[in-house]
């Protein structure tokens, strides 16, 4: 059975896995260069000596476990309520696209004004799905 509204969930999960690999590809060599013994790390501040390029990938990985949790719950709700129409599906894919672009900005240039705009646009896609769900289910 094909449920297009669920496919963006899988895409964002897979993107999170990509960031997990990117995180360790950048962090482990940076830790070696900084002489950090992973067994002696007690808190996040112990990694503040790492270069910004390694830290911003880690920050983005963490960000993919924040707002996207709302996305996952909302799309499951949308699916279960039978509200996964083509408009909500397009909005869901747009949200995934915005998260990928947000990741690429944060993990490379980390130009915050642009990153903020992309985050805000993605947030509006998410809100649009929620508002549409309310309108479709209750009115």
pLDDT of residue 49: 82
pLDDT of residue 44: 72
For the chain, the C-alpha Rg in angstroms (whole number) is 18
pTM for the model: 0.93
pLDDT of residue 97: 98
Cβ-contact 19, 103 below 8 angstroms: yes
Q: What distance lies between CA 16 and its chain's CA centroid? A: 7
Distance of alpha carbon 71 from alpha carbon 95, whole angstroms: 8
Q: Which domains, from first to last, does the chain contain? A: 4-138 (1.20.120)
Among left, alpha and beta (phi > 0; psi -120 to 50; other), residue 126 is alpha
20-32 pLDDT, tens per residue? 999 999 998 888 8
pLDDT of residue 36: 80
pLDDT of residue 45: 74
pLDDT of residue 31: 85
End-to-end CA distance of the chain: 28
pLDDT of residue 112: 97
* pLDDT, mean of each 10-residue run, the chain (139 residues): 94 98 93 82 78 93 97 98 97 98 97 98 98 95
For residue 17, the SS3 value is helix
Q: What distance lies between CA 41 and its chain's CA centroid? A: 26
- Backbone angles phi and psi of 111, in degrees to 5: -75, 100
DSSP state of 81: T
Among left, alpha and beta (phi > 0; psi -120 to 50; other), residue 109 is alpha
pLDDT of residue 41: 78
């Amino acid at each position: 059975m094909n449920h297009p509204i669920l496919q963006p969930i899988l895409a964002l999960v897979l993107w999170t896995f990509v960031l997990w690999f990117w995180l360790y590809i950048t962090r482990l060599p940076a830790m070696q260069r900084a002489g950090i013994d992973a067994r002696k790390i007690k808190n996040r501040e112990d990694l503040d000596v790492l270069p910004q390029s390694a830290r911003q990938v880690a920050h983005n990985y963490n960000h993919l476990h924040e707002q996207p949790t709302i996305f996952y719950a909302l799309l499951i709700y949308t699916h279960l309520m039978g509200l996964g129409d083509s408009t909500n599906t397009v909005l869901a894919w747009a949200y995934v696209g915005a998260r990928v672009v947000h990741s690429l900005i944060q993990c490379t240039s980390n130009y915050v004004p642009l990153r903020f705009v992309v985050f805000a646009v993605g947030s509006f896609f998410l809100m649009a799905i929620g508002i549409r769900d309310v309108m479709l289910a209750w009115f």
